[in-house]
Amino acid sequence: MSYVSTIRMFVRVYELGSMSAAARDQRTSPAVASARISELEKHLGVRLFNRTTRMLQPTGNGRIFYDGARRILEAIEEAEAAVTDAGANPRGTLFIAAPLGVGRRLIAPLVPHFKDEWPQIDVRLRLSDRGIDVTAEGLDLAFHLGIPQDSDLKLRVLADCPRILCAAPAYIAKRGLPESGADLIAQSHDCLNLRYPGAREFQWTLVTPEGPQRFEVSGPFESDDGDVLTGWALDGRGVVMKPIFEVADHLRAGTLVPVARQTPPLPVQLSVLMPHRKLQDPKTRLFIDYVAARMKAVLSDPLEGLNLR
């Protein structure tokens, strides 16, 4: 196995914090991953990780070596890009992250078609509604709903996603139909909220006759998985705010119905984030352009003409 491949394995072990996760990432076995790290440590004459049966922690030497190893891999990527005709022969592996709803419904369906068009580019897609550190986790790009907090990343806005407040008919039959954000508060409606580490108190920004206004909402259920919230809403457990593309089928079927239509939510931005060093990576730019070209049609309001808004 080449020294570059060994360095790449070390970098993925460091970034993922797990020998088995890095092995899956590099399409090999945990035993092979462990052997490569041991060989690298023997070659360098230092320990790179402290290992126990429950955790893997980089040593001080491991952190120092990671910084250099990451720069080596970046230099190789840049050199390959400089001599490769990106339009005719892009190649390599893309590491991508996306929120669960966006990833499952918007990005994942496009990946096989992208691979058909660009067979020498592999895509590894990670889905999570938790906050992701794009740089620390070695990602090429991450899709994001909302306003990103990290100003050190390059941002490209792809589209506005219309959102809607909705609930199941069973919930409305039991609790009544709120007509506005004020009704949500005054009538103490159960609101289903997305919770993730570091999240602030729940506020929904709704469009009122006086302009956008924040409403502090609460409820007995919260989750860090947006699809769990949709499931609870379908079960009649409360009101949920969702991008329309995530719940359009339920709205058409009548298993969810719009609420608080006098004060609809503001749209949310769908954007893509990437480290500045990835700006000139042909495969990264190619994938973003591929997705962007298809987003406008996918995210156009799917409820138009159905009298559901």
**Contact assessment for residue 172 and residue 254, using Cβ atoms and an 8 Å cutoff:** no
DSSP 8-state code for residue 265: B
Top pLDDT among 128 and 82 is at 128
Model confidence band, residue 309 (pLDDT cutoffs 50, 70, 90): very low
Average pLDDT over residues 135-160: 79
Q: Which of 74-78, 210-214, 240-244 has the lowest mean pLDDT?
A: 74-78
Does position 304 have pLDDT exceeding 60, yes or no?
no
Question: Judging by DSSP bridges, how do beta strands 222-223 and 191-194 pair with one another?
Answer: parallel
DSSP H helices, the chain, are: 3-16, 19-25, 30-44, 60-83, 100-102, 111-117, 169-175, 181-186, 226-234, 244-253, 282-299
Question: Which range, 75-89, 236-250, 262-276, is most confident?
Answer: 236-250
Top pLDDT among 241 and 129 is at 241
Structure tokens at 304: 């138009």
- Beta strands across the sheet bearing 268-274: 121-127, 92-98, 141-145, 268-274, 154-161
State the distance between the two ends of the chain, measured CA to CA, in whole angstroms: 59
Predicted confidence (pLDDT) per residue in 93-133, tens digit: 899 999 888 898 889 999 999 999 999 899 999 988 777 77
Q: Which of 10-14, 82-86, 258-262 has the lowest mean pLDDT?
A: 82-86
| Phi, psi of 31, deg, nearest 5 | -65, -40
**Contact assessment for residue 158 and residue 187, using Cβ atoms and an 8 Å cutoff:** no
Q: What is the pLDDT of residue 90?
A: 78
Q: What is the pLDDT of residue 308?
A: 52
Model confidence band, residue 175 (pLDDT cutoffs 50, 70, 90): very high
Predicted confidence (pLDDT) per residue in 185-206, tens digit: 999 999 999 876 545 557 888 9
Does position 265 have pLDDT exceeding 80, yes or no?
yes
In DSSP notation, 1-39 reads: --HHHHHHHHHHHHHHT-HHHHHHHTTS-HHHHHHHHHH
Mean pLDDT of the chain: 84
Q: Which domains does the chain have, with CATH numbers?
A: 1-83 (1.10.10.10), 85-152+275-309 (3.40.190.10), 163-266 (3.40.190.10)
One-letter amino acid at 270 equals: L
Does position 255 have pLDDT exceeding 90, yes or no?
yes
Q: Is the pTM of this model over 0.85?
A: no
Average pLDDT over residues 174-178: 95
